[in-house]
Structure 1
Amino acid sequence: MQTIEFAKLWSKLTKDYKTYMEEHLAPGLTESQLVVLEVLYEAGRMKPSQLIPILETTPAAVTMLLDRMEKNGLISRVRHLDDRRMIWIYLTERGKEEAKRGVQIRNSFMSDVLDRISQHNQNLLVFLLNKITS
């Protein structure tokens, strides 16, 4: 049955990806932190609550993650001038550097995996993945 084979292959690929990312991002970065850095890189600034659906986690988990990131100099939190209850998250220069490093690490893994098949099959794979994730 194709479902079983797909599940096995998908599981192996995701396990290999997570292992690679953990090894190469460490010790300064985690995969969750990389997601936050990438989103902030594009957005410029965000409220912590905006990360909850992106990370698919709880407000408490987001707060803990941001605490670690701020402690490591990846982000800064700034209170809104007019509404002191609102906090904006910004990337620091170190955060921008780590975001770029993390993307390079991920791209390296993806290139290594995709280079095993032809360009035509890469395009087909992306097309098919789009079909099943829509």
Structure 2
Amino acid sequence: MHSSEFVKLWSILTKDYKSHMEQELAPVLTEAQLTVLELLLEHPRMKPSEFTPYLATTPAAVTMLLDRMEKHELIERRRDDRDRRVVWITLSEKGRLEAVRGTTIREEFIDQTLSKISSHNQQLLVYLLSKITTQTATTKQSS
């Protein structure tokens, strides 16, 4: 088993990724904010509670995150016309532009990182990672 080698390499890769993203997204965005913006690109409007599973955090932390994003004009909060208790989160135009900027930064980093190996090995790596994540997701569901 090569688990210690895997952990070491995985740690280096994720540290490099996080450092790069933090540096390049600043000062406007964080990774968590980029996740929110990407979700809003897929879903035109979402309730605050719908973000919690994607961010692996507490509802209170999501509220604080959305507060900061609204302050920086990345999102807009709107009350539902029929049920005033419901608040919808939508993308602002600035948020849309930052989502595109953030995803471009990430794609360029991943492309640069993967360019160190052949196209065949890139496909193999993605395949192997999908096997691991599928197995992990199945294990978590059965727990």
Instruction: Indicate the TM-score class for this superposition, using the shorter chain for normalisation.
Output: over 0.9
Counting only pairs closer than 5 Å after superposition, residues 20-39 of structure 1 correspond to structure 2 as 20-39=20-39
Counting only pairs closer than 5 Å after superposition, residues 1-134 of structure 1 correspond to structure 2 as 1-134=1-134
What code does the residue aligned with 2:120 have?
A: H
Match of 2:141 in 1: none
- CA shift at 1:91, angstroms? 0.1
C-alpha distance in 2 between matches for 1:30 and 1:79: 26
What runs of 5+ residues in structure 2 fail to find an aligned partner?
A: 135-143
What code does the residue aligned with 1:77 have?
A: R
C-alpha distance in 2 between matches for 1:11 and 1:44: 35
C-alpha distance in 1 between matches for 2:56 and 2:47: 15
Segments of 4+ moved more than 6 angstroms: none
C-alpha distance in 2 between matches for 1:54 and 1:123: 26
Q: Tell me the matched-pair count.
A: 134
- CA shift at 1:82, angstroms? 1.1
What code does the residue aligned with 1:75 have?
A: I
Compute the RMSD of aligned alpha carbons. 0.5
What's the TM-score once normalised by structure 1's chain length? 0.99
What's the TM-score once normalised by structure 2's chain length? 0.93
What runs of 5+ residues in structure 1 fail to find an aligned partner?
A: none
Match of 2:139 in 1: none
C-alpha distance in 1 between matches for 2:104 and 2:52: 25
